[in-house]
Amino acid sequence: MLERAEVGGISIPIALGLLVMMYPPLAKVRFDKTLEIATDKRLMAVSIVLNWIVGPAFMFALAWIFLPNEPELRTGLIIVGLARCIAMVLVWSDLACADREATAVLVAINSVFQVAMFGVLGWFYLQVLPGWLGLPVTSAEFSFWSIVGSVLVFLGIPLLAGFASRIIGEKTRGRTWYENTFLPAISPLALIGLLYTIVLLFSLQGKEIVARPLTVATLALPLLCYFVGMFAIALVVSKASGMGYAQAASVSFTAAGNNFELAIAVSIGTFGATSAQALAGTIGPLIEIPVLVGLVYAMRWLGPKLFPSDPTLPATQPATTPSS
């Protein structure tokens, strides 16, 4: 059974799809540019505030607004909001022709914060803040090693593979061959991995969706509001701070996405595989994936309107740029 193919709470079939999906975007990153981007204080500050202050607070508010009488589902949604994206955002960013190097840096920053802050924020949003507001509190202990394992598997492996590919490819065949021949050849793997992951998620959760349609619908509305709302907030803030299309797209997709594998693993490890909290985690990607695919296309339409004459717009990028 696919659902039993797990190691340390990580689904092997889903992990395979994610790793295949993430490899091409990371192979396209010019790692020599990431250090320069990492010193961009505006980019770092905007992303950190959106991901680690605005995002969790927004999901907390939505969970209480839409699910005031469903404590288990509410807790599951809050956990989804705490698990910031370190995986699929690379694909959304690549499809939208965002700044690959900026996305890679933001993903790395999110990974560090995820290890350091996930447990702290979980304690704050499930116990401290509800207590301050006179709301019921939820006791939960999150496994530090589940968080570390998620970061190492879903970011560490494809990051190392992408870095090694560029170093070896450029040294043996040159940058021209690497970017004009190798990268276009592996680019389809991202979409293949994405489609495989989507099909697998729906097949694994099909019974739950059919058996509990009302619960799915109840979760879908706040999740839809969250993904679209966070994207819109991030896009407005990025433009207001003076960013161009490419960086704004990177910040927006990073802020809107979530690390659903971590959310699912934490919910299962803390509350059990059949819990409502785990169901909320599994419904998350089923809503997130189609919504963010739609936002990729929305950015193609919004980009020229919000960032007129911007040289980083997809339509103005060189034709040889992979996936542009």
Can you give the pLDDT at residue 169? 94
pLDDT (tens digit per residue) in 52-62: 999 999 999 99
Angle at Cα 243 formed by Cα 241 and Cα 245, nearest 5°? 140
Residue 296 has pLDDT above 80, yes or no: yes
Q: How many percent of the chain have pLDDT more than 90?
A: 43
Under the banding of pLDDT at 50, 70 and 90, the label for residue 324 is very low
Supply the pTM of this predicted model: 0.82
Helix (H) or strand (E) holding 30: none
pLDDT (tens digit per residue) in 5-41: 665 556 678 778 878 887 888 888 888 888 788 888 9
Instruction: Name all domains of the chain by residue range, CATH numbers in brackets.
Output: 2-305 (1.20.1530.20)
pLDDT (tens digit per residue) in 169-204: 999 999 999 999 999 999 888 888 878 877 777 776
Can you give the pLDDT at residue 9? 55
Residue 319 has pLDDT above 50, yes or no: no
Of 15-24, 160-169, 234-243, which range is least confident? 15-24
DSSP 145-211: HHHHHHHIIIIIHHHHHHHHHHHHHHHHH-HHHIIIIIHHHHTHHHHHHHHHHHHHHHHHHHHHHHH
Can you give the pLDDT at residue 180? 92
Can you give the pLDDT at residue 323? 39
User: Any bridge partners for residue 86, and if so which?
Assistant: none
Token pair in block for residue 236:
């407005």
Question: Which segments of the chain does DSSP mark as H helices, in order?
Answer: 12-28, 31-38, 41-49, 55-66, 71-82, 89-95, 100-123, 129-132, 144-151, 157-173, 175-177, 183-186, 188-211, 213-240, 245-256, 260-271, 276-306
Contact between 253 and 92 under an 8 Å Cβ cutoff? The reply is yes
What is the residue-averaged pLDDT of the chain?
Answer: 85
Determine how many CB atoms are found less than 10 A away from the CB of residue 290: 13
CA-based nearest residue to 77, from 67, 85, 87, 69: 67
CA–CA gap between residue 280 and residue 189 (Å, rounded): 29
CA–CA gap between residue 195 and residue 179 (Å, rounded): 24
